Amino acid sequence: MIIITSGAGWFIYNDINKGNSSENDVDDNLIAASVDNIPQDIKDIVIENNIIKINLAVPNLSKQIIFYNNDLPEDAKILLREKITKLRNNLKENNDLFSDWLSIGVNYKIAGDYESARDAWEYVSAIRPSSSVSFSNLGDLYHYYLKDFPKAEKNFLQAIENDKQKTDVYIPLHELYKYSYKQNTTLVTDVLFEGLKEEPRNINLLITLAAYFKEIEDIVNAKKYYTQARDEAQKLKNTQLTELLNKEIKEVSKP
């Protein structure tokens, strides 16, 4: 995939001319896969000579800044407005600023403007499809704020696919399966085990797994993973965490 920029927006080109394929032999599955992460309202797709050209419109950087979060004090709103305005100005000059798209999405989210946060992160996910952070942000946004659980799962899975060793994504996906989507399936633990394959000594994953087994009264596995977490805490000489985990082991070991 080659991405180039122009004043009108981003153009993503996928060369789908494979081997001896004829000029008109276009793979519909490949087309669908290439545009899967681009929101319907910001894409314009043209196919010319077996080249997919996607014109990605930049999210609106001039619309009114609205604060839907009524709990924000006035001084916080003033600061947020300043931050958003500065980020918008930066992005108007250069719409290829990855960190600024991430940041403006965070600020929109704090303001309670979840749709603008979504648009910012969907856009940056489209122009940086190999990143993990924007997809992880979208997973959280779709889960807890927009309540679109299939899209939450899709984005968490993409974040993991892009960086399997970014183990902090496995726990939010576990929480999606635990609280909201595809509940009462093995996915709720499968995703934690997948994370542990990448980082077997990750204390957060071990504790999350142990706590889940404790909650469903699987005492054997709860004790097993609390013990593994405790052992890792000892190796790190984290005495406070070691003591807390010893208490958990003692509690789950009660007859």
Where along the chain do its domains lie?
Answer: 2-56, 59-128
Encode the chain in three state secondary structure.
CEEEEECCEEEEEEECCCCCCCCCCCCHHHHHHHCCCCCHHHEEEEEECCEEEEEECCCCCCCCCCCCCCCCCHHHHHHHHHHHHHHHHHHHHCCCCHHHHHHHHHHHHHHCCHHHHHHHHHHHHHHCCCCCHHHHHHHHHHHHCCCCHHHHHHHHHHHHHHCCCCHHHHHHHHHHHHHCCCCCCCHHHHHHHHHHHHCCCCHHHHHHHHHHHHHCCCHHHHHHHHHHHHHHHHHCCCHHHHHHHHHHHHHHCCC
31 or 251, higher pLDDT: 251
83 pLDDT exceeds 80? yes
The pLDDT of residue 12:
39
* Reported pTM: 0.80
Instruction: Please give the average per-residue pLDDT across 151-167, as a whole number.
Output: 96
35 pLDDT exceeds 70? no
Instruction: Please give the average per-residue pLDDT across 98-121, as a whole number.
Output: 98
26 pLDDT exceeds 70? no
5 pLDDT exceeds 60? no
51 pLDDT exceeds 50? yes
